[in-house]
Amino acid sequence: MWQTSMHLGEGQEAFRLDRIVQFAKAKLKPRIKYENSPYLKGEEFEYKLACLAIRIMLDIDTTRRKGLRMASRLVESHMRIVWSVPEDRETMDTGAPSEPVLVEASAQLLHSDNIDMFDTLNTALSRNLIAKGERGELAARILFIHAQDRVSRHTLDYYSMKYHGPIRLLEFLKQLFTDAAYDYIKNAIPIEDKPGAEPLEDAFKDAWVNFSHFAQAGDYGVTKLDSLRQFFFRGVMLQCCDSQQTLDFTAPMVFVQDINSPFEEEDFSQLGVQVKNRATPVPTILDMKAFAPTSRHPILTILLELGEANAPRTVDDGSVVFETLDRASTGGEEQHYQITVHGLDALRLPPTEKASLQRVLEPGKPFESFSRRDRNMEILKSNQPYYEETGATVEWWPKEGDM
């Protein structure tokens, strides 16, 4: 649709790109508002969720009635697509398309309307609209999009594309991490520290990334550098397959001094991310040898331990570390830089967003939707639908006097 509008037939005036983006925004956001109406509130949440879903690839749970109804509304009015409908017609597979124009439109709406991405995600989670998945990954996607947007809105203006375009990796890292954390990270050394190895800030001074949204990898091969480099031009960070253990997200990097100059396949390298929402971290080196074995340029991986209990609060205490060979099991890592982040304090987050992020990371409580939770929860627990440390018992026969 966007391409057709841009390139009309001979003798017909094509729309300018800025008009195409405005058209996409009109398709995403409802035009009619009813003051003080419950319908308005529901409609506004729908478009907020639609914008967020386009940026971070939200999977609506259509096995639930609420989720199916929401997915239907997003398809009907907010540019979501139906991928397939099973024979029983009880559910449907829907998704947000990886369309740069639509991504730009959603990004502009998210910022012009001051939409809180974490708050929108929390609302969707509390309503059981999102398919069960790793909450840490959802949170990390927003963190990465936030950092990318903070750089883009001050540096980009590519024909009305304010949030979709290449940015310097170092500028992205400055917006992802606090000043104190970045001052530490910029001096990181490779995992295998050989003589002459450059600190991270020098090694990646010419590195550029371009990801305005997330899209799903369909197999392992597409996340390897030989295939991954094409996604630089589409502005995609790939969500890896569930069965892929090393990485959760990955995106290409290009090493050039001037982003407007021509570049070759040899100029690409790879950024990899793994996210853990676990209370107790395990020292981990992400093995990238199979992903970019021929890269002439440095590789960067980031391990986010978002759920760590009692995480260090400051850089001096170890909230951020760069991995080195004394904790690695194999060699051949002289161009691989890995940053491990413990907890949330090294991340650049306003206090309100940090509180919202913590709510996203909290695991759902059993029977959270139980309507009489405030009065009858203990009675429900007496049926032993699950076991807790406090009051756990394996007795299954009534004691004398209980009957």
Q: What does the pLDDT read at residue 294? A: 77
Tell me the percentage of the chain whose pLDDT exceeds 90: 55
Phi, psi of 172, deg, nearest 5: -60, -45
> How buried is residue 260: exposed, middle or buried, by Cβ count under 10 Å (0-12/13-18/19+)?
exposed
Provide the pairing of β-strand 249-255 with 236-239: antiparallel
Q: 302-346 pLDDT, tens per residue? A: 999 998 878 888 888 888 888 876 554 455 688 999 999 999 999
pLDDT over 90 at 251, yes or no: yes
| Average pLDDT score, the chain | 85
Q: Mean of the pLDDT values across residues 363-369?
A: 65
Q: Where are the beta strands (DSSP E) in 140-264?
A: 167-168, 207-209, 213-216, 236-239, 249-255
If one counts every other C-beta atom within 10 angstroms of the C-beta of residue 204, the result is 25
Are 177 and 156 spatial neighbours (Cβ–Cβ below 8 Å)? no
The pLDDT-based confidence of 16 (bands split at 50, 70, 90) is: confident
pLDDT over 60 at 12, yes or no: no
**3-state SS assignment for residue 52:** helix
Higher pLDDT, 383 or 96: 96
Q: How far is CA 3 from CA 11, 185, 217, in A?
A: 17, 42, 24
pLDDT over 50 at 168, yes or no: yes
CA distance 362 to 307: 8
> Which run of H or of E encompasses 84?
strand 81-84
CA distance 84 to 24: 24
Query: In sequence order, what are the residues at sequence separation of 6 or more whose Cβ sits closer than 8 angstroms to the Cβ of residue 66?
Result: 127, 128, 129
Q: What does the pLDDT read at residue 201? A: 97
pLDDT over 90 at 14, yes or no: no
Structure tokens at 279: 């209370």
The pLDDT-based confidence of 32 (bands split at 50, 70, 90) is: very low
pLDDT over 70 at 397, yes or no: no
Q: 43-95 pLDDT, tens per residue? A: 789 999 999 999 999 999 999 999 999 999 999 999 999 999 988 888 999 99
pLDDT over 80 at 138, yes or no: yes
Query: In sequence order, what are the residues at sequence separation of 6 or more whose Cβ sits closer than 8 angstroms to the Cβ of residue 182?
Result: 173, 174
Q: What does the pLDDT read at residue 346? A: 95
Q: What does the pLDDT read at residue 39? A: 45
The pLDDT-based confidence of 376 (bands split at 50, 70, 90) is: confident
pLDDT over 60 at 247, yes or no: yes
Higher pLDDT, 39 or 227: 227
Q: How far is CA 296 from CA 14, 286, 287, 301, 334, in A?
A: 42, 19, 17, 16, 11
Tell me which residue of 177, 151, 146, 175 sits closest to 165, measured CA to CA: 151
The pLDDT-based confidence of 6 (bands split at 50, 70, 90) is: low
Phi, psi of 266, deg, nearest 5: -70, -10
